[in-house]
């Protein structure tokens, strides 16, 4: 492969960057070694390239980063404030804030604060104390009543269980007539007397009344027992 | 590169610390491109700031599919440098070796012997001076290839010219730089 001086200049960077084909590389070397014009050119450009690649980075002024940040995002204090505000948007903070707000709202509601017509007087300590005291008494009274109701329901349930254990008291207990018996004859068994049937009817009526009195607590019970 | 793209996304969502991280990661590189192009520290710092301002304003237009964030930033830098070159062309005085600004080398240079350090500093100043005498087209090509160590494909993207043009400019830039340094009395040892 022949190589001329113009090619050396045109392909010099390819040669220096190692991009020549082996045949081209050999022709290039062969030409440069014997050419008084190309040899100094290759040597000087190689030297420049080596120098450029050894140049160390120049350190910018330490203030430069801060100047850039100030120019783009404002002064340091403003940047800090924005960062702090951004921190408030974190889920953990929002969850905590909502919990605190909900607690305060609950406490205010419990102390009788009127949300529809808020008044500053409702937030006075004396008012809060009075409302809280009243609220505590109401809660206590309701709790007492609830316990009392529970007791009644328990008693009803106990009586029903008692009735279950004693079939003679059940309303739907009808004596089965034996096929061997003849009409008008008895065999040591007492057919349900009118007195017993009246008692069962009375018990059913009582259950209905109680079901009306305690629909929530005794609902299931009555559904099961009262037709 | 992926980390850059992630930081850009965070910036676009309003995360100031992500922008701060991007600035810290790229300031030195952008400053060096500007400094090697202008040969002046003050101008280089002003231009670096302008680059980041422009990047900050146009961050939403960056698409990672079109190349790395660093390449995109280099394109912005190159455009600003060319604008700056055209704007200051009239005011520019003839380059002189005496105008070369003192260069603050990084920590590695501290380890050198004082005489070596002086020699490197002198050579660095001469190369910097020779660089500023190149035409802007050849200068940017040499800076990107031989100082920033960019690949040809990246230089193509930054300069928006074909590969043949990139290779030609780099080749001519190196030869021209060698010629200028030869004129300045810098010869291979």
Q: Is residue A106 part of a domain?
A: no
Residues 152-171 of A with CB under 8 A from B: none
Q: How far is B5 from chain A (nearest CA, A)?
A: 19
pLDDT of B151-186, one tens digit each? 999 999 999 999 999 999 999 999 999 999 999 888
- The Cα B152–Cα B138 span in angstroms is 14
Quote the pLDDT of residue A152: 94
Chain B residues closer than 8 Å to A16 by CB: 174
A141 and A82 part of one domain: no
Whether A50 and A69 share a structural domain = no
A62 close contact with B: CB closer than 8 A: no
pLDDT digits (tens, 9 = 90+) for A176-217: 555 555 555 555 555 555 665 666 666 667 666 666 666 555
Which pLDDT does position A195 carry in this prediction? 60
Quote the percentage of chain A above a pLDDT of 90: 38
Q: Tell me how far apart the alpha carbons of residues B77 and B54 are, in angstroms, rounded to a whole number.
A: 9
Q: Is the predicted pLDDT of residue B102 greater than 60, yes or no? A: no
**Nearest-CB residue to B19 (from A43, A51, A73):** A73
The model's pTM: 0.60
Number of domains in chain A: 3
Q: Pick from A13, A14, A67: which is nearest to B49 by CB?
A: A67
Interface membership of B49 toward A (CB under 8 Å) = yes
Compute φ and ψ for A213, nearest 5 degrees. Answer: -70, -40
The residue range of the domain holding A14 is: 5-54
B49/A71 Cβ within 8 A: yes
Given CATH 2.60.40.10, say whether it is the number of domain B97-189: no
Please judge whether B175 and A9 are an interchain contact, meaning their C-beta atoms are less than 8 angstroms apart: yes
Q: Are residues A25 and A81 in the same domain?
A: no
Question: Residue A24: inside a domain, yes or no?
Answer: yes
SS3 for B49? helix
Tell me the per-residue pLDDT of B52-67, one tens digit each, with 9 for 90 and over.
999 999 999 988 777 8
Residue A173 has pLDDT above 60, yes or no: no
Q: Which residue has the higher pLDDT, A77 or B72?
A: B72
Q: Please, is B3 exposed, middle or buried when counting C-beta atoms within 10 Å of its C-beta (0-12, 13-18, 19+)?
A: exposed
Residues A68 and A145 in one domain: no
Convert B150-181 to b/e letters by CB count within 10 Å (16 or more is b).
beeebbbbbbeeeeeebbbbbbbbbbbbbbbb
Instruction: Find which of B33, B149, B174 to mutate to test the A interface (most A CBs within 10 Å of its CB).
Output: B174
| pLDDT, average across residues A85-93 | 76
Residue A95 located in a structural domain: no
Q: Is pLDDT at A148 greater than 80 in this prediction?
A: yes
* Alpha helices (H) along A76-179: 76-87, 91-110, 125-165
Q: Among partner residues B103, B127, B175, which is closest to A12 by beta-carbon distance? A: B175
Cβ–Cβ contacts within 10 Å for residue A200, how many?
17
Q: Taken in order B88, B91, B95, B97, is the CA torsion positive or negative?
A: negative
Same domain for A46 and A130?
A: no
Is pLDDT above 70 for A103?
yes
When scoring A60, A75, A79, A83 by the number of chain B Cβ atoms within 10 A, the one with the most, hence best to mutate, is A60
Cβ B44–A60 below 8 Å, yes or no?
Answer: yes
Q: What is the largest CA-CA distance in chain B?
A: 55
- Domain end point (choices A45, A71, A89): A89
Assess whether A197 and A227 both reside in one domain. yes
Same-domain check for residues A202 and A140: yes
Same domain assignment for residues A205 and A224: yes
Is A67 within 8 Å of B188 when comparing Cβ atoms? no
Q: What is the pLDDT of residues A22-55, one digit of tens each?
A: 999 999 999 999 999 999 999 999 999 998 988 8
Closest CA to B52 of B11, B92, B106: B11
Under an 8 A CB cutoff, do B32 and A65 touch? Answer: no
Based on the fold, state whether residues A68 and A11 are members of the same structural domain: no
Interface test with A, best of B8, B16, B147, B186 (most A CBs within 10 A): B16
In this structure, which topology does domain B1-92 adopt according to CATH?
Rna Polymerase Sigma Factor; Chain: A (1.10.1740)
| Residues A48, A66 within the same domain | no
Q: Would an 8 Å CB–CB cutoff place B113 in contact with chain A?
A: no
Residues A48 and A64 in one domain: no
User: Any CB–CB contact under 8 A between A5 and chain B?
Assistant: no
> Which of B8, B20, B41, B103 to mutate to test binding with chain A, by most A CBs within 10 Å of its CB?
B20
Same domain, A74 and A141: no
Q: How far apart are CA B138 and CA B177, in angstroms?
A: 9
**Interface membership of B32 toward A (CB under 8 Å):** yes
Question: What are the residue ranges spanned by the domains of chain B?
Answer: 1-92, 97-189
């Amino acid at each position: 492969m022949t190589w001329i001086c113009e090619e050396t200049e045109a392909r010099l960077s390819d040669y220096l960057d190692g991009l020549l084909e082996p045949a081209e590389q050999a022709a290039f070397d062969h030409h440069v070694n014997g050419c008084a014009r190309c040899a100094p050119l290759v040597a000087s450009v190689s030297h420049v390239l080596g120098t450029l690649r050894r140049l160390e980075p120049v350190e910018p002024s330490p203030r430069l980063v801060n100047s850039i940040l100030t120019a783009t995002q404002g002064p340091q204090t403003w940047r800090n404030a924005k960062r702090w505000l951004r921190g408030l948007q974190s889920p953990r903070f929002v969850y905590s804030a909502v919990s605190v707000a909900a607690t305060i709202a609950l406490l205010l509601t419990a102390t009788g604060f009127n949300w529809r017509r808020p008044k500053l007087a409702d937030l006075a300590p004396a008012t809060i104390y009075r409302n809280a005291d009243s609220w505590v008494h109401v809660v206590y009274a309701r709790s007492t009543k609830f316990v009392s109701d529970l007791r009644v329901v328990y008693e009803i349930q106990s009586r029903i269980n008692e009735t279950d254990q004693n079939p003679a008291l059940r309303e739907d207990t009808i004596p089965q007539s034996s096929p061997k018996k003849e009409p008008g004859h008895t065999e040591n068994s007492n057919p349900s007397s009118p007195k017993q049937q009246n008692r069962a009817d009375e018990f059913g009526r009582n259950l209905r009344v109680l079901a009306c009195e305690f629909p929530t607590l005794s609902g299931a019970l009555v559904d099961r027992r009262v037709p | 590169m992926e980390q850059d793209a992630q930081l850009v996304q965070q910036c676009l969502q309003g995360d100031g610390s992500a922008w701060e991280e991007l600035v810290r990661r790229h300031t030195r590189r952008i400053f060096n491109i500007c400094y090697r192009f202008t040969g002046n520290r003050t101008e280089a710092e002003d231009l670096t700031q302008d680059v980041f301002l422009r990047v900050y304003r146009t961050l939403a237009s960056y698409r990672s599919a079109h190349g790395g964030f660093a390449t995109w930033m280099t394109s912005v830098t190159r455009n600003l440098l060319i604008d700056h070159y055209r704007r200051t062309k009239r005011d520019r005085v003839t380059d002189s070796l005496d105008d070369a600004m003192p260069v603050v080398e990084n920590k590695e240079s501290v380890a050198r012997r004082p005489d070596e350090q002086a020699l490197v500093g002198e050579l660095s100043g001469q190369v910097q001076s020779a660089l500023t005498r190149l035409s802007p087209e050849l200068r940017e090509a040499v800076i990107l290839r031989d100082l920033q160590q960019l690949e040809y494909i990246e230089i193509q993207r930054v300069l928006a010219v074909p590969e043949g043009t990139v290779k030609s400019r780099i080749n001519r830039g190196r030869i021209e730089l060698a010629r200028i340094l030869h004129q300045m009395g810098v010869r291979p040892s």
